[in-house]
Amino acid sequence: MNPEENTYFNKYREAAPLAVFRIFFGFLMFLSIVRFMGLGWVDKLYIQPKFFFSYYGFEWVKPIGIYTYLIFVFCGLSALAVAFGFKYRLAIISFFLSFTYIELMDKTTYLNHYYFISLMAFVMIFLPANAYYSIDAKHRGNIAYQKVPAWTIDIVKVLLGIVYFYAGLAKLNSDWLLHALPLKIWLPSKYNIPVIGSFLEQEWVHYAFSWIGAFYDLLIPFLLLFKRTRLFAFALVVIFHVLTRVMFPIGMFPFIMIFSTLIFFSDRWHHRFLSIISKYLKVSKSYFDNGKKLVMSRIPYVRFKLRLLMLFLIIQLLFPFRYLLYPGELFWTEEGFRFSWRVMLMEKAGYANFIITDPNTKKSYHVDNSNFLTPFQEKQMSFQPDFILEFAHFLHDHFEEMGIDNPEVRVECYVALNGRLSQLYIDPTVNLAKEEESFAHKSWLLPFNDEIKGL
């Protein structure tokens, strides 16, 4: 790959779309952080719990007590600096690190869209998003450019496209398409929504939503890409996300996606948008229209950056398929489920009753999970194997401190998936204290009594 010779890498576009994207991304992240703090979730999710579930390999990432608030403040201010394009490189690196740190503190709160934010922030570190319409560009004329390499805009589109398309692929399974699950479970419970509420109990609506949802996810990146279908696609984006926002508690995500997809719009649209803003803010937009082009060779370490981003994209394309390396039903074992854009696919719930046995006296104790976990943590723990194992190890250590030598930890865990009757999830005879976390298949999971066909 030689950036100078490759014609694609010598294509240039107006920097306006990238600037608009930076502004929306920064402000929406700032709002998300403010909202998160305003709802009291920092305290509830990161300060009150006595125990936190870690990602494998990131056990060292923990909330830092009351100072956790500082991480959020830091993250929010970084987002604001990104929006303004103020000391952009430093701001986006700060944002990426603090946001990712927050997400790694407790996997109970894992959401695909938080993962998306982390990925996007990582990519933005390498993009000249402050070249245009930013405080940096205003103050440092030597980094101000009106035009940037096209790939710096396209890579944002590719990331967005992956999110949608892979979310669509994940819906191509028998539960979603042939049984309208889990929408058939979720939609009737939204009976109280004005106007559409009564429709949500109709079976045909469950199927219609499932199929439209799958096609929407698969097609929308392409519809956004082509000029002829772009406006229609954007209307769909707005309708789809507003509808999901009304029906499900998904926070800021719909707005993030709606504003992100604007990057597919033309240079002209972005210039017009910035002109309008400039009028309100009394900013001279013409200052930024300096006609200068950020040529590839002027980007520091451009080859390294391109190679890194290429590798990043390849990983992104392959990573969601890692579940193929594991035996058993993905929805059941969840081995390879996270970080794969598998969104809203399962109604899964569990009940985990831990039993501690003293190997010397053979006495057994049932654990009251709520002594150690918040209701939210207990709910998430009770149907995800890695959570169960981590909690089992915590219980082992806890009861060892309480004076039991080498306590054995077993669990009686029942899980129900997509309306199927609950069944035993984990071999109740296995001493989980002796099992180690790894990327290998967890042999102590009991097999799923049914089959879900498809991707």
Partner 1 sequence: MKRILLFLAFAGLVGCSSGDDSDGGNQGKDSFDRQAMLINWADNIIIPAYENYTEKLATLNAQAEVFVTTPDESNLNNVRVAWLEAYRAFQYVGMYEIGKAEELKLHSYSNIYPTQVDGNAVDADGINQNIASGSYDLTALSNIDEQGFPALDYMLHGIAETDTEIVNLYLNGSNYKTYLTDLSVRLKSLADAVLADWKGTYRDNFINNKGNTATSSTNKLVNDFIYHFEKNLRAGKIGIPAGVFSGGTILPEKVEGYYRNDVSKLLLLDAIDAANDFFNGRAFASGVEGASLKSYLEYLNDIQEGNNLALLINVQFSTAKNMADQLSESISAQVQSDNSVALNVYDELQRNVVYFKVDMLSAMSINVDYVDADGD
Residues of this chain that interact with partner 1 (CB under 8 A) are 41, 45, 109, 111-113, 177-181, 184-186, 188-192, 198, 201-204, 206-208, 210-212, 215, 219, 228-229, 231-232, 248-253, 343-344, 347-351, 353, 358, 361, 363-366, 368, 375-376, 378-379, 414-416, 419-422
Of 150 and 250, nearer to partner 1 (C-beta) is 250
Of 24 and 341, nearer to partner 1 (C-beta) is 341
Of 93 and 218, nearer to partner 1 (C-beta) is 218
Tell me how far, at minimum, the Cβ of 426 lies from partner 1, in Å: 13
Tell me how far, at minimum, the Cβ of 323 lies from partner 1, in Å: 18
**Three-state SS at 414:** strand
Q: Contact, 225 vs 264, CB < 8 A?
A: yes
Q: Contact, 168 vs 216, CB < 8 A?
A: yes
Of 244 and 290, nearer to partner 1 (C-beta) is 244
Please state whether the peptide bond connecting residue 447 to the residue before it is cis, i.e. omega within 30 degrees of 0. no
Of 292 and 342, nearer to partner 1 (C-beta) is 342
Q: Contact, 132 vs 146, CB < 8 A?
A: yes
Tell me how far, at minimum, the Cβ of 423 lies from partner 1, in Å: 10
Tell me how far, at minimum, the Cβ of 277 lies from partner 1, in Å: 28
Q: Cα 52 to chain center, whole Å?
A: 19
Of 3 and 213, nearer to partner 1 (C-beta) is 213
DSSP classification of residue 454 = B
Of 307, 444, 343, 301, nearest to 385 (Cα)?
444
Q: Contact, 40 vs 94, CB < 8 A?
A: no
Of 45 and 263, nearer to partner 1 (C-beta) is 45
DSSP classification of residue 142 = G
Of 286 and 371, nearer to partner 1 (C-beta) is 371
Question: How far apart are the C-alpha atoms of 364 and 299, rounded to whole Å?
Answer: 65
Tell me how far, at minimum, the Cβ of 371 lies from partner 1, in Å: 11
Of 137 and 233, nearer to partner 1 (C-beta) is 233
Q: Copy the structure tokens of residue 441.
A: 């298949």
Tell me how far, at minimum, the Cβ of 382 lies from partner 1, in Å: 8
Question: How far apart are the C-alpha atoms of 56 and 38, rounded to whole Å?
Answer: 30
Q: Copy the structure tokens of residue 242.
A: 């507003």
Of 154 and 347, nearer to partner 1 (C-beta) is 347
**CA distances in angstroms from 156 to 73, 84, 123, 164, 189, listed in the order given:** 26, 19, 8, 13, 36
Of 13 and 113, nearer to partner 1 (C-beta) is 113
Q: Which long-range contacts (CB under 8 A, 24 or more apart) does 428-437 make?
A: 432/388, 432/389, 432/392, 432/393, 432/396, 433/392, 433/393, 433/396, 433/406, 433/407, 433/408, 433/409, 435/389, 435/392, 437/56, 437/386, 437/389, 437/390
Tell me how far, at minimum, the Cβ of 113 lies from partner 1, in Å: 5
Tell me how far, at minimum, the Cβ of 109 lies from partner 1, in Å: 6
Using CA atoms of 118, 122, 128, 131 in order, give the dihedral in degrees to the nearest 10: 40
The continuous run of DSSP H or E covering 385 comes out as: helix 385-401
Tell me how far, at minimum, the Cβ of 21 lies from partner 1, in Å: 21
Tell me how far, at minimum, the Cβ of 68 lies from partner 1, in Å: 16
Tell me how far, at minimum, the Cβ of 380 lies from partner 1, in Å: 9
Q: Contact, 3 vs 296, CB < 8 A?
A: yes
The continuous run of DSSP H or E covering 348 comes out as: strand 348-357
Q: Copy the structure tokens of residue 72.
A: 């959020």
